[in-house]
């Protein structure tokens, strides 16, 4: 039986802070939640906690844009249809409908807040298309710097509100629970905050997780170094249900850097590979091998604009067959003017490592990019633990199903963060509980830590056995490695409580849960590819794999059928 710690080994809190709502994470989801909470509850004490600096999350790296039905020839129904197709039968249709119906208003709201999106000559939003979309509906900023501009606007709004308290450089540890099993705050470890230095406790009757993804469990990822699965691990330890962890989307085109190069070494040190946006293929760039032969021709009707899982799998097959570790994205046909105007950030990044996309194909390889699964929520962002909410990449709202449609992620953060704020504001029970948070909340059961010296071994095992291509054999081997990493009797290590050990324990927790879910789903669907079960199996697997921790830390898996979705093709 697989056993995981029910809480992190850590010193007792040496300081405390009380709030009405604590939001953990400062990407698009967390920042939007805070701003909407201030609008809905102007008298509330709202505390924003972030692991590093406000701008250090994944949002700033989003190049492609935000998908929303903003064009006259588009509609939420068309956007819904494309989303359901990409999700390969596993989208929660009600959640996806909320996403596409409320999305346009949230995007316009963001523009009114000050986000400077690119505009057409007539002043309307300049819209483009990405893989899986049958309409031009991707709004972008600065060509390929959408996330950076969105983040700038949201952070400016947060900093302009003196009533919002922000704690930076704070690693969240565990959820605090009251005697009734409700969320009552969280423990944190703060660096460099004077009297708040070290482990402390923030008490609040409502906790919003917006901690982002878990890409750092793989060797190659577009996620920043802070994306170590902290929110999913915390939720599991608190008893929450997580869903669909097996569906990790690998972006086909991360900039490949030779490991021996100075740029490659730097990328390995911070654990993040530069992204070459899918929008480049949307404009006409094509994937080729070293000989210049097209890679996607005949692999899918949409060729280079096929859904990301299709492209990543085809690339992985070609790379394995030819014994190479990368392919190329040829954008030369777009012309210098289009490349430099539309993709200034990508162009600058490529040139900084000696690749000029105007004259040279860009070396690329698949990298872990987005987790479609996460902490299971309902349409209002509620998890299975009362008082605990989740939004953004840490959550599984069900909108993505087995494969996220390009540029739906930023939209999801906007839409469901706003819904969480509305629900908290309308929860009269939460209002009554604000002054009833216990002084010494229950913190959980047995604790444990994993040796951070074995992080490289975890990453290697996950990349080799649970990456783009998986099988029963590879998943068993990976699970065995992960189990061994958690057994200090074998390693003989003495683990000191602190950020490296806490992050490593979170990585092992989410990796173990992901591998178990991937082994359970004996089919290929969306971004989950099983070499030994190569076909989609609606008869047995039209549903979710649910994961939770039992009373003693045992990993418990279950399945839940879902209602089949009916896709109406765009007219």
CATH number at residue 481: 1.20.58.100
The reported pLDDT for the residue numbered 306 is: 87
Domain annotation covers residue 114 = no
Instruction: Name the DSSP class of 73.
Output: T
Would 30 be classed as within a structural domain? no
Is residue 27 within 8 Å of 59, Cβ to Cβ?
A: yes
b/e 526-560 (16+ beta carbons within 10 angstroms → b)? bbbbbeebeeeeeeebbbbbbbbbeeebebeeeee
Number of domains in the chain: 2
Q: What is the pLDDT of residue 439?
A: 44
Among 366, 397, 425, identify where a domain stops.
366
Same domain, 358 and 458: no
Q: Is residue 315 part of a domain?
A: yes
Q: Are residues 461 and 555 in the same domain?
A: yes
Gap between the Cα atoms of 250 and 224, Å rounded: 15
Give every CB contact of residue 140 below 8 A, 6+ residues apart in sequence: 64, 65, 66, 117, 118, 126, 128, 146, 279
Question: Which domain, by its residues, includes 534?
Answer: 452-561
* Closest residue by Cα to residue 246 from 450, 390, 396, 455: 396
Instruction: Please report, for the chain, how many H helices and E strands are present, in that order.
Output: 17, 23
CA 261 vs. chain centroid, Å, equals 29
Task: Determine the longest span between alpha carbons in the chain, in angstroms.
Answer: 68
Yes or no: say if 547 and 556 are a contact pair by the CB < 8 Å rule.
yes
The residues with which 442 forms a beta bridge, in sequence order, are 177
- Quote the tokens at residue 462: 């996950």
Strand ranges inside 111-223, DSSP E: 127-128, 138-139, 165-167, 170-177, 183-190, 198-203, 206-209
Question: Is residue 361 located within the same domain as residue 456?
Answer: no
Positive or negative torsion for Cα 266, 268, 270, 271: positive
Distance CA 479, CA 506 (A): 15
List the beta bridge partners of residue 365: 254
Give the Å distances, CA to CA, from 562 to 366, 427, 537, 541.
Answer: 30, 28, 14, 9
Q: 366, 389, 411: which is the final residue of a domain?
A: 366
pTM for the structure as a whole: 0.89
Task: With respect to residue 555, please indicate whether it lies within any of the assigned structural domains.
Answer: yes
Query: Where are the alpha helices (H) located in 141-259, listed in sequence order?
Result: 146-159, 230-237
DSSP 437-487: --SS-B--S-EE---GGGHHHHHHHHHHHSSSSB-HHHHHHHHHHHHHHT-
What secondary structure does DSSP assign to 530-559, as a single string? Answer: BTTB-S--HHHHSEEEEEEE-TTSBEEEEE
Q: What is the pLDDT along the chain (571 residues), one digit of tens a residue?
A: 778 999 998 988 989 999 999 999 999 999 999 999 999 999 999 999 999 888 777 777 666 789 999 999 999 999 999 999 999 999 999 999 999 999 999 999 999 999 999 999 999 999 988 878 889 999 998 877 788 899 999 999 999 999 999 999 999 999 999 989 999 999 999 986 544 568 999 999 999 999 999 999 998 888 888 999 999 999 999 999 999 999 999 988 999 887 644 454 444 445 578 889 888 998 999 999 999 999 999 999 999 988 777 888 899 889 888 988 899 999 999 999 999 998 998 999 999 999 999 999 999 989 999 999 999 999 999 999 999 999 999 999 999 999 999 899 999 999 999 999 999 999 865 544 555 455 454 444 556 899 999 999 999 999 889 998 899 999 999 999 999 987 665 555 678 889 999 999 999 999 999 999 999 999 999 999 999 999 999 999 999 999 999 988 999 999 999 987 766 655 4
Distance CA 518, CA 539 (A): 18
Specify if 395 maps to a domain.
no
Residues 456 and 361 in one domain: no
**Of 333, 366, 399, which one is at a domain's C-terminal end?**
366
Out of 308, 349, 470, 530, which one is annotated catalytic?
308
Say what the pLDDT of residue 569 is. 53
Which pLDDT belongs to residue 567? 65
State the pLDDT at residue 270.
55
Distance between CA 536 and CA 219 in Å, rounded? 27
The rounded Cα 60 to chain-centroid distance in angstroms is: 13
- Is there a domain that residue 18 lies in? no
196, part of any domain:
no
pLDDT at 259: 62
Residue bearing tokens 């999106």: 117
Burial classification of residue 468, based on how many CB atoms lie within 10 Å of its CB (0-12 exposed, 13-18 middle, 19 or more buried): buried
For residue 522, which phi and psi values (nearest 5 degrees)? -90, 65
Q: Note if 445 is an active site residue.
A: no
What's the Cα-to-Cα distance from 389 to each of 22, 111, 205, 414, 418, rounded to whole Å?
Answer: 10, 26, 11, 14, 12
Q: Is 148 a domain residue?
A: no
Sign of CA dihedral 297, 302, 304, 309: negative
Give the angle 303-464-214 at the CA atoms, nearest 5°.
Answer: 80
Q: Can you give the CATH number for the domain in which 292 is found? A: 3.90.700.10
Confidence (pLDDT) at 479: 96
In this predicted structure, what is the pLDDT of residue 147? 84
- pLDDT at residue 251, as a whole number: 87
């Amino acid at each position: 039986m697989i056993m995981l710690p029910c809480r992190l080994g850590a010193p007792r809190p040496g300081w405390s802070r009380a709030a009405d709502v604590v939001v953990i994470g400062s990407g698009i989801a967390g920042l939007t939640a805070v701003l909407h909470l201030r609008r809905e509850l102007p008298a509330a004490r709202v505390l924003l906690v972030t692991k590093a600096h406000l701008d250090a999350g994944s949002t700033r790296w989003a190049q492609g844009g935000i998908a929303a039905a903003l064009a006259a020839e588009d509609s939420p129904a068309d956007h819904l249809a494309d989303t359901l197709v990409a999700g390969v039968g596993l989208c929660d249709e009600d959640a996806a409908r909320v996403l596409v119906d409320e999305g346009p208003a949230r995007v316009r709201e963001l523009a009114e807040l000050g986000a400077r999106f690119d505009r057409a000559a007539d002043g309307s939003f300049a819209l483009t298309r990405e893989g899986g979309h049958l309409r031009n509906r991707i709004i972008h900023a600065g060509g390929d710097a959408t996330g950076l501009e969105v983040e700038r606007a949201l952070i400016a709004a947060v900093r302009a509100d003196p009533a919002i308290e922000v704690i930076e450089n704070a690693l969240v540890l565990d959820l605090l629970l009251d005697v009734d099993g409700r969320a009552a705050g969280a423990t944190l470890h703060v660096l460099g905050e004077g009297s708040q230095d070290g482990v402390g406790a923030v008490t609040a009757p409502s906790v919003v997780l917006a901690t982002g993804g878990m890409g750092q469990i793989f060797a190659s990822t577009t996620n920043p170094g802070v994306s170590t699965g902290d929110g999913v691990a915390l939720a599991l330890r608190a008893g929450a249900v997580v869903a669909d962890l097996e569906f990790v989307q690998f972006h086909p085109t991360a900039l490949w850097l030779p490991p021996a190069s100075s740029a490659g070494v730097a990328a390995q040190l911070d654990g993040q590979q530069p992204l070459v946006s899918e929008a480049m293929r949307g404009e006409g760039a094509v994937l080729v091998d070293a000989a210049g032969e097209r890679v996607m021709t005949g692999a899918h009707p949409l060729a280079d604009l096929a859904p990301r899982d299709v492209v990543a799998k085809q690339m992985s097959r070609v790379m394995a067959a030819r014994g190479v570790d990368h392919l190329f994205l040829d954008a030369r046909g777009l012309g210098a003017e289009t490349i430099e105007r539309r993709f200034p950030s990508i162009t600058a990044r490529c040139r900084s490592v000696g690749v000029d996309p105007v004259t040279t194909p860009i070396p690329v390889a698949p990298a872990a990019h987005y987790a479609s699964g996460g902490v299971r929520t309902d349409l209002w962002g509620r998890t299975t633990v009362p008082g605990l909410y989740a939004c953004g990449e840490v959550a599984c709202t069900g909108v993505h199903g087995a494969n996220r449609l390009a540029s739906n992620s930023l939209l999801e953060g906007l839409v469901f963060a706003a819904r969480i704020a509305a629900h908290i504001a309308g929860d009269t029970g939460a209002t009554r509980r604000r002054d009833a948070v216990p002084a010494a909340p229950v913190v959980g059961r047995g604790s444990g830590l994993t040796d951070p010296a074995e992080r490289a071994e975890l990453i290697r095992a996950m990349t080799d056995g649970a990456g783009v291509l998986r099988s029963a054999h590879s998943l068993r081997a990976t699970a065995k490695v992960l189990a061994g990493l958690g057994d200090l009797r074998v390693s003989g290590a003495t683990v000191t409580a602190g950020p490296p050990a806490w992050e490593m324990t979170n990585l092992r927790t989410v990796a173990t849960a992901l591998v178990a879910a991937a082994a359970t789903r004996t089919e290929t669907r969306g971004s989950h590819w099983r070499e030994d079960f190569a076909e989609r199996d609606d008869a047995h697997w039209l549903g979710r794999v649910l994961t939770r921790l039992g009373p003693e830390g045992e990993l418990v898996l279950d399945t839940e059928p879902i209602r089949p979705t009916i896709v109406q093709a765009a007219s």
